[in-house]
Amino acid sequence: MVRRRFVLAVSAMAAIPAVVRDRSTLAQDTMPSARASYGLTTLSRGLEQPWSMAFLPDGRMLITERPGRLRVFAQGRLDPRPLEGVPAVHAAGQAGLLDICLHPGFAQNRVLYLSYIAGDSRLSLTSVARAELGDGGLRNVVRIFEARPGASGNLNLGSRIVFDRAGKMYVSTGDRFQMNRAQDLGDLAGKVVRLNDDGSVPPDNPFVGRQGARPEIFSWGHRNPQGLALHPETGRIWEVEHGPKGGDELNVLKPGANYGWPLVTYGTNYDGSKITDNRHLPGMEDALRTWVPSISPCGLTFYTGHKFPQWRGSLFTGALSNQALFRIGVEGERYAGEERLLVGRLPYIRDVRQGPDGLLYLVTRSDDGGLFRLEPA
């Protein structure tokens, strides 16, 4: 059954290794929320357009910078030397080095994945590389996925990576600002793909064997998905994506499902012109939540820790254009309200992750971007 879409204007609802061990010099601001007071701690500045984070078993953190660098944060300090071996990226506009994701068996195999834009200004592709983390850098780097066909332009590129409980990898791709590509099953733009950990196609993917359809596709009809997260109880993949002017979405992904873009949307073109009158169409999935006006959701994580018991089960996403962090309440697979945190205090949150210490970590989109942490006040 197709769910009804919930639409409303943005409003507020009333023995693990420590990632940071030295807190003596850290500044903290304290703020209240509807359920828990929290402090915002600045861990590091001087990151250039940070995009994503990953926590290593030994307590270190890896941070991607969009110009093409992979940085290490350890013992309360950002290493000034980037890791070697990162694949060459096309860095312009929204393009560059994007997401980082550890293999589920990283502790044994040291394998990680990077999503990035490969190519140049004439022809570029959203890509994924598989690599092993060694001393001082990456080794055995292999590109295992390309969102073909390539295109020019540096907008609506995606891209996030997440693994499910079965060890399958999901990668989001944007429509490259060419909206009709999202409805073309022979095109990997505007999709979420499902892959084995080596980049091969699982035989049970929904479009395997269908003539004219790419077998990598898991779901389609997406505009610019910039957040993927695994539900800690159901194991389903949740997704957030940017609409145009209005029409950002929160979705639960289903195999083979069409999420409508651009045939269904609450958004308009940036010049205010109409895209479509359709808000629902038969055979297309409605979003759990649609934001009008846009908040530009970026990064996505379910909170499962014990440091903020009042927030357990909540979903968190950065809101670039709203300059806030959104805490979204969910009940099963239903949207159950939201509140805005850090409003005007930490602009342009690009990613949010739960650390192994049960605290929330954020990076901000800026040429002088930072790494921050939310702690109980």
| 110, 134 Cβ separation under 8 angstroms | yes
**Mean of pLDDT values over 38-58:** 96
Q: Does domain 7-376 have CATH number 2.120.10.30?
A: yes
In the predicted model, is pLDDT for residue 111 greater than 50?
yes
What pLDDT, on the 0 to 100 scale, is given for residue 29?
67
What pLDDT, on the 0 to 100 scale, is given for residue 31?
77
- Tens of pLDDT along 190-224? 999 999 999 999 999 999 999 999 999 999 999 99
Q: Identify the band that residue 286 occupies on the pLDDT scale cut at 50, 70 and 90.
A: very high
pTM metric for this prediction: 0.93
In the predicted model, is pLDDT for residue 318 greater than 90?
yes
In the predicted model, is pLDDT for residue 266 greater than 80?
yes
| 38, 361 Cβ separation under 8 angstroms | no
- Tens of pLDDT along 162-181? 999 999 999 999 999 999 99
Q: Phi first, then psi: what are they for 119, rounded to 5°?
A: 110, -145
In the predicted model, is pLDDT for residue 247 greater than 50?
yes
The two counts, helices (H) then strands (E), for the chain are: 1, 26
Residues 6+ apart with CB under 8 A from 273: none
What distances in angstroms separate CA 187 from CA 30, 174, 180, 216, 319, one per listed residue? 47, 11, 10, 10, 29
